[in-house]
Amino acid sequence: MTSKRYDHIMNEQKRATVYLDSDLHRALRLKAAATDRSISEIVNEAVRRSLAEDAADLAAIETRAAEPEVDFAVVVKNMKRRGRL
């Protein structure tokens, strides 16, 4: 939850210079034209989705923090012993 004191900061748009691969830029321009949206809108949506995925991953990590750690080498050794590998 954001404080009302910071709402005006969160709603401001900031300018950033981003260098894209030329093929990626062309595809992005075409998508923007086809969807009647700006490149900025598409990029902002993609970044929001990526950050939301990160937040979900962090929440899953926090939820599983209490689980015991299992050594990878032990898992592989047990799989070999059971004929799974």
Angle at 21 between CA 56 and CA 10, to 5 degrees: 45
Provide the H-helix boundaries in 1-85: 7-10, 22-35, 39-63, 72-81
What is the C-alpha to C-alpha distance for residues 75 and 80, in angstroms, rounded to an integer?
9
Quick one: CATH architecture of 11-81?
Orthogonal Bundle (1.10)
Residue 26 tokens, joined:
């062309």
User: pLDDT tens-digit profile of 1-59?
Assistant: 555 665 655 578 899 999 999 999 999 999 999 999 999 999 999 999 999 999 999 99
CB 56 within 8 A of CB 62: no
Amino acid at 28: L
- pLDDT for the residue numbered 5: 60
